[in-house]
Amino acid sequence: MTHVGAVVGAVTAVMAILLHSSIHKIEEGHLAVYYRGGALLTAPNGPGYHIMMPFLTTYRSVQTTLQTDEIKNVPCGTSGGVMIYFDRIEVVNMLVPSSVVDTVKNYTADYDKTLIFNKIHHELNQFCSVHTLQEVYIELFDIIDENLKIALQKDLNSMAPGLTIQAVRVTKPKIPEAIRRNFELMEGEKTRLLVTVQTQKVVEKEAETERKKAVIEAQKVAEVAQIHFQQKVMEKETEKRISEIEDTAFLAKMKARADAEYYTAAKFAEANRLKLTPEYLELMKYQAIAANSKIYFGQDIPNMFVEGHSPTQDPEPPKESFP
Judge whether residue 110 has pLDDT over 50. yes
Both 52 and 96 in one domain: the answer is no
The 10s digit of each residue's pLDDT in 232-257 is: 999 999 988 998 898 888 888 888 88
Both 51 and 82 in one domain: the answer is no
Q: How high is the pLDDT of residue 185?
A: 84
| Residue 271 domain-assigned (yes or no) | no
Both 30 and 111 in one domain: the answer is no
Instruction: Give DSSP secondary structure letters for 6-49.
Output: HHHHHHHHHHHHHHHHHEEEE-TTEEEEEEETTEEPS--B-SEE
Judge whether residue 62 has pLDDT over 90. yes
Both 72 and 148 in one domain: the answer is yes
Both 117 and 52 in one domain: the answer is no
The whole model's pTM is what?
0.54
Least confident range from 91-100, 180-189, 229-238: namely: 180-189
Q: What are phi and psi of 165, to 5 degrees?
A: -100, 120
* Residue 248, SS3 per DSSP: helix
Spatial neighbors of 74 by CB under 8 A, at least 6 apart, are: 85, 86, 89, 120, 121, 124
Last residue of a domain, one of 34, 63, 92: 63
| Residue 109 domain-assigned (yes or no) | yes
- In this prediction, residues 68-95 reach a mean pLDDT of 93
The 10s digit of each residue's pLDDT in 121-134 is: 999 999 999 999 88
Of 258 and 164, the structure prediction assigns the larger pLDDT to 164
From 63, 6, 59, select the one nearest 35 (Cα to Cα).
59
The 10s digit of each residue's pLDDT in 81-94 is: 889 999 999 999 99
Q: How far apart are CA 40 and CA 4, in angstroms?
A: 41
Last residue of a domain, one of 130, 158, 175: 175
| Residue 7 domain-assigned (yes or no) | yes
Least confident range from 84-88, 182-186, 223-227, 243-247: namely: 182-186
Q: How far apart are CA 152 and CA 91, in angstroms?
A: 10
Q: What are phi and psi of 321, to 5 degrees?
A: -115, 150
Name the pLDDT band for 116 (thresholds 50, 70, 90).
Answer: very high
Q: How high is the pLDDT of residue 16?
A: 65
| Residue 214 domain-assigned (yes or no) | no
Give the HSE-up count for residue 310: Cα atoms under 13 Å, Cβ half-sphere: 3
CATH number for the domain that contains residue 168: 3.30.479.30
Both 144 and 168 in one domain: the answer is yes
Residue 50 structural domain: 2-63
Last residue of a domain, one of 35, 63, 91: 63
What is the percent of the chain where pLDDT is above 70? Answer: 84
Mode of pairing for the β-strands spanning 173-174 and 83-95: antiparallel
One-letter amino acid at 302 equals P
Q: How many domains does the chain have?
A: 2
Spatial neighbors of 266 by CB under 8 A, at least 6 apart, are: none
Q: How high is the pLDDT of residue 279?
A: 76
| Residue 305 domain-assigned (yes or no) | no
Both 32 and 123 in one domain: the answer is no
Instruction: Give DSSP secondary structure letters for 179-190.
Output: HHHHHHHHHHHH
